[in-house]
Structure 1
């Protein structure tokens, strides 16, 4: 693992060493220019806002996640070596604007953060597992479509699906709307609006008229969303726990 000083010099920020921390607020990584939560490397000086995803700071010779790109030889770059040509991440299907891994053999590019996504994890208290897949059989909880470039997370029974791109976009939307501020998200109405933005057709306000089956269905969707957000953006923080606890009780 590189020292903090080496990370610092490589990234063109030689003034101060970067410090490992868990950010309690969302941020935009100065390396890949992507949205992030949680674990990061940040300049400790108050007047300097330089911050990196952990994956952008502690970069590897080759990304750990190559399940879908077995023939690729990825190399890290601070910027697109092909110049002004637009590059798209093959995992989230969103534009690459900063740090990236690029294959030297085939036409594949990855955000450093996307390259570290877990390929599989489990729903708690259930035999259901969630897999990263190229294709899905059910509609995405956000866009209600089966077709979108990039990869998706899918439950083992195939009933719950979410495009990685849609989740990243939805979380960024929630941040821009102010829903990821602790004082805002503590309000039940704002909490519900934030969750509805993540799954418009599946998250509704709880009422006395809802059947136990409907409540259980919503609860599983919320748990699924919580795990996805945690997988893509890092471990749950106070902010995320507050967002999801309303429907978990």
Structure 2
């Protein structure tokens, strides 16, 4: 059953499910969101669907020995970070019961295991074998890989953290406010040199390169949709131009 209106302990007014036309910051987990959200029509208060209706307890297949509990604020006094994306935990969170507890943002907890679209199949992984097409590395930071979506063929891989950063930085630079097409970031492609060398610049080589970028764009679109929700027109325009250099 899909709820259209809810009440939430963190807010005094009724929250209505709407499709946000612009990016918003979730007042639960403090992460960015797009698409459907529960919004207060009286004041500027928004919640991801995952934050608005969390499960009291949860399980994740990457942590088979962990029993997660939902908290509006992580227990303890030290700073926490999400084991999926590496970003700080600043609000709603799922935390396991172990002494050295794992933490997951609600939206990261709910990430789909498999994404399929337009000839691309991606799997959520915590142990990737391919470099991320954005940062060019297997690790987000030294000693921390985080989660990635990787294609079945192994050619297309993006860190969840890198995709979050890509959209967030463009938002902060005003892309969504002004609708301009000047990209703040570039998408790296470690395999591009191999494609050029193997094809020698032939017409068939150009077709292979074109297909490579098209599939990378499809992969990126699927991942942005999985992380942030259904793309708005502004997000779709951003995706369309990310790989068009």
TM bracket (short chain): 0.7 to 0.9
Structure 1 counterpart of 2:93: 100
Structure with higher strand content: 2
2:41 is aligned, of 32, 41, 44, to: 44
- How far did residue 211 of structure 1 move? 2.4
Q: How does 1:196-235 map onto structure 2 within 5 Å?
A: 197=185, 199-201=187-189, 211-235=206-230
Say whether 1:241 aligns with 2:236: yes
**1:134·1:152 contact (CA, 8 Å) conserved in 2?**
yes
Inter-CA distance 3–160: structure 2 relative to 1 (3 Å threshold)? closer
**1:22·1:40 contact (CA, 8 Å) conserved in 2?**
yes
Say whether 1:153 aligns with 2:149: yes
Please give the alpha-carbon distance, in whole angstroms, between the structure 1 residues aligned to 2:151 and 2:133: 12
Structure 2 counterpart of 1:32: 29
Structure 1 counterpart of 2:54: 59
**1:26·1:36 contact (CA, 8 Å) conserved in 2?**
yes
> What SS does the aligned partner of 1:70 have?
coil
Please give the alpha-carbon distance, in whole angstroms, between the structure 2 residues aligned to 1:98 and 1:244: 28
1:144 is aligned, of 124, 136, 151, to: 136
Say whether 1:166 aligns with 2:162: yes
Aligned length: 225
Structure 2 counterpart of 1:20: 17
Please give the alpha-carbon distance, in whole angstroms, between the structure 2 residues aligned to 1:109 and 1:241: 30
Segments of 5+ residues of structure 2 without an aligned counterpart are: 193-202
Structure 2 counterpart of 1:88: 81
- How far did residue 240 of structure 1 move? 2.2
**2:80·2:88 contact (CA, 8 Å) conserved in 1?**
yes
> What SS does the aligned partner of 1:226 have?
helix
Please give the alpha-carbon distance, in whole angstroms, between the structure 2 residues aligned to 1:245 and 1:147: 26
Please give the alpha-carbon distance, in whole angstroms, between the structure 2 residues aligned to 1:243 and 1:171: 8
Could you say which structure has the greater relative contact order, defined with CA pairs below 8 angstroms and 6 or more residues apart?
2
- How far did residue 136 of structure 1 move? 1.7
**2:4·2:16 contact (CA, 8 Å) conserved in 1?**
no
> What SS does the aligned partner of 1:121 have?
strand
TM-score, normalising length from structure 1? 0.82
Segments of 5+ residues of structure 1 without an aligned counterpart are: none
Inter-CA distance 156–94: structure 2 relative to 1 (3 Å threshold)? same
Which whole-Å deviations, capped at 9, do the CAs of 1:159-206 have from their partners, x for residues lacking one? 11111111111111010111223x524x4xx2xx25xx251448x9xx
Please give the alpha-carbon distance, in whole angstroms, between the structure 2 residues aligned to 1:53 and 1:99: 11
Please give the alpha-carbon distance, in whole angstroms, between the structure 1 residues aligned to 2:52 and 2:105: 13
- How far did residue 4 of structure 1 move? 4.6
